[in-house]
Amino acid sequence: MMDQHFKCWLWKILWSFGLLSLVLAWFSLGSGAIAGLETGVWFWNALVAGILATPIKLDCHNCRTCNPQG
């Protein structure tokens, strides 16, 4: 079984990367590319990171890191 503390950090990192990718995708709409990656790549990165973060977060409901009373 995966360590709960590691899972909490993993979903936060994935979610943050997804959010950053989404913001970079919006900004790249005007310029065409940011950091050598096209707009579509940034949107796909955001989508994949969000999809990967969701089940980890849903499994983290009884973790002492996320819920100190639980």
DSSP alpha helix (H) spans, the chain: 4-31, 39-58
Count the domains in the chain.
1
The range of the structural domain enclosing residue 44 comes to 4-58
* pTM for this entry: 0.77
Please check whether residue 66 lies inside any domain of the structure: no
Q: How far apart are CA 63 and CA 42, in angstroms?
A: 31
Residue at 49 is within a domain: yes
**Residue 65 lies inside a defined structural domain of this protein:** no
25 class by beta-carbon count within 10 Å (0-12 exposed, 13-18 middle, 19+ buried): buried
Which tens digits make up the pLDDT trace of 11-62? 889 999 999 999 999 999 888 888 888 899 999 999 999 999 888 777 766 6
